[in-house]
Structures are given as structure tokens and as C-alpha cells.
Structure 1
Amino acid sequence: MAVLQLEGLLLLLLLALSSSTVKGQRDPEVFCGACKALAEELAYDIKKIGPKRTVNSGTFRINPDGTRGKKKVPFAKSETFLTDVLEKICDRMNDYQLQDDPVTQKKIFKRYAPRKDEPIYAEYKKYFFYSDAYKPLKYACETIIEQYEDEIFSLIAQEADFLADKLCIEKSGLCPKPDAHGEL
């Protein structure tokens, strides 16, 4: 009898955990926040690379007119650079926390951790401790990259201003469109 009660309790606990996990993975606030954080991190990484730094792009084939199909593109917009950045970018979701926006009173993800190139970073790393709290945000980030990688490359190649709005509202629909007053 005690074994049946224990099995029932374990089953109930398992169901409770699995339903909360599925709900957290599909939370629109988390996916919108992850998309905006992803766009912010991408914009930061692109800005760090100087515009004069270029890389050859294209093919090494010779065109019918005798020219090569190669051209120079800004390194920050190259597929090589972007692929490398996108492979590691979701690990930075640990640098964000869920906060209430003081103006709209809505939940937003905001970066709280200093970046590696900021003077306070060395001091911050002394007191940093890992948390599993960012896992849903990291999962959402990885899912967004998997589903919208081509759109991300295209937006960056087009030098799209307002990357977060273009990616998170227009291309993916992960964030709601602001109303006439600019509120979501």
C-alpha cells in the first residue's frame, strides 16, 4: 500500500514538473525577451568590429566576362563571423534578468551584467555565480536562431536599422506590435 502511495506521489510530482516546464518553454514573454536580447547582443558584436575590416566573399569561379565572382564584404556582416557569433550568443542569456518595466509595468528582460570590455567586469567576475534561472531564456534564444537564422543573416546584410523590431516583431512575430501610443 505504501509503495502505491509513493508511486502515485512520484507520478503527481512528475506531471507537475513536466507541465510547468512545457509552459515555461512556450511563454511568449520569454521568447519576446530572448529575441530582443539576441538582437541587442548581435548589434553589440557587430558594432565592436570596425567597418573597415573586410573579408572576401563569393566564389573563386571565373565569370563569362573573365572576372572572378569574389567581392569584399564587411567582416561583421560575413557569414563566417555571424555563424561564429550565433553559436555562442545564447550563453550570454545568463547576463539578463526579468524585471518590471518602470514605465509600462510589463515584464522585460534587461541586461544586468557588465560586458568583458567594461572596466568593472573583472570585479564582477569575482562575485558571479551560475544560475539555472536563465535556462528558459537560453532555450528560447537557441530556438529563435534555429528557426530564423536566414532572416537574421538577411537583416544584417541589408544593414537593417532597429534589428530587434525587424526580427522580433516583423519577421518572427515573437513580440507584439506597439499600439498607436508606442505601447505593446
Structure 2
Amino acid sequence: MSSLKYLLMTFALFVPSLAVDTSELKCQVCSSLVELIQQNVSSVSPTRVVQVSNFRLDDNGNQPKQMVPLSRSQVYLSEVMDSVCKKMADYVRATFKENGTLIVMPLMVDGKMNPLMSEVDVVQDSDLNKSLEYYCDDIVDDIEDDVIKIMKSETSKNAVYAICSEAVQLCPIKQNRLEL
């Protein structure tokens, strides 16, 4: 009889991790990924610029060159994309206690425990959240060109929506409805 109780308790621990919808999880990972990229881009001083050029020559046989902010350069954004998913090791899946909504969030914020930890229940994950990094790598492979294009533009105000909802359609597009 005690082995049956042990089996039921073990099963109960892993039920929350089985109930997570992968499409919702991918949406959350995509949102966190884009936010991490934006943090990297905003951490670079706007005064740091690089000289870029294309391989075409103008009418005079000169190669046109221009200066762009380092944080918006193709090389910098590609480097960020190559390393950003490793940071997902510091993230966990959780659900808000109030409404059960899934969230992928960092454990630490500014060197301190995430203040949201008291408002969420961490979802027990059998792979110790390695799947977050896997999903992140998978998403980066799919969206790298879109992310670089959007992040290079100066008007990337709502990049999470532009990338995760419009470009790769991992997150549902929320309709603005007037409820009576």
C-alpha cells in the first residue's frame, strides 16, 4: 500500500509539467528571447559605431561606407543571437498563483531573487529546464534573419510583438475587443 502512495505522490509532482502547452511555452520562450536581445542591444553605448560597407562599387569605383551604431550592426546582432540562448539556463517555467497563466522568467534580476517568485508556482521540470534552451535554439534558427532585420531598424519599439506574433507567429495575435 505504501508503494501505491509513493507512486501517486510521484505522479502528482510531475503532472504540472505534463500540462504545459508547448505552443504557449514556445511563445513565452520567444518573448523572453527577444527581451534578452533587446537588453543586449540597449546595453551598448549609442556612441559606439562601426563602419560598414557593401561589396558594390559606385560610379567612381569607390566602395561606399557608412557608420552605424554597433548595437544595430549585422555582426553584433549575429553574435548576440549565437550566445543568447545560453542565458535560458537561468530561467524557469512558472504559473501565476492567481490565474494559472504560464510565464518563463529569470530566477535572478539585477543580482537579486526575482520579485515575482512570491507570486508564482515554479513548474517542476524533469529535464531541469534544459528544454527552455532547446526551444530557444530552435526559435533562433527559425527567426534569426527576422530578428536581425527588425532589430537593425531604429523603430523596433514593440519587437516582441513584431517578431513573436507577426514574423514567426509563435504567439497569438491579440484582438482588441470592446467588451460590454
After superposition, the Cα gap between the structure-2 partners of 1:104 and 1:175, relative to the gap in structure 1 and judged at 3 Å, is farther
Residue 91 (structure 2) pairs with residue 96 (structure 1) = yes
Structure 1: stretches of 5+ with no match in the other structure = 1-22, 122-130
Match 2:100 to one of 95, 105, 113: 105
After superposition, the Cα gap between the structure-2 partners of 1:104 and 1:157, relative to the gap in structure 1 and judged at 3 Å, is farther
| Structure in which a larger fraction of residues adopt helix | 1
Percent of aligned positions that are identical = 25
Residue deviations 1:25-84, cap 9 Å, x none?
x91122111101110100100010011110011136541145531111110011111111
Superposition pairs of residues 1-184 of structure 1, within 5 angstroms:
27-59=22-54, 62-65=57-60, 67-101=62-96, 105-114=100-109, 118=110, 120=112, 132-159=127-154, 160-180=156-176
Structure 1 Cα separation of the partners of residues 84 and 25 of structure 2: 16
Name the amino acid aligned to 1:74: P
Structure 2 Cα separation of the partners of residues 58 and 177 of structure 1: 37
TM-score normalised by length of structure 1: 0.70
After superposition, the Cα gap between the structure-2 partners of 1:61 and 1:179, relative to the gap in structure 1 and judged at 3 Å, is closer
Cα RMSD after superposing both structures: 2.7
After superposition, the Cα gap between the structure-2 partners of 1:72 and 1:29, relative to the gap in structure 1 and judged at 3 Å, is same
Structure 2 Cα separation of the partners of residues 103 and 155 of structure 1: 34
Structure 2 Cα separation of the partners of residues 107 and 27 of structure 1: 11
Name the amino acid aligned to 2:75: T
Structure 2 Cα separation of the partners of residues 31 and 161 of structure 1: 22
After superposition, the Cα gap between the structure-2 partners of 1:102 and 1:59, relative to the gap in structure 1 and judged at 3 Å, is same
Where 1:72 maps in the other structure, the secondary structure is strand
Number of corresponding residues: 147
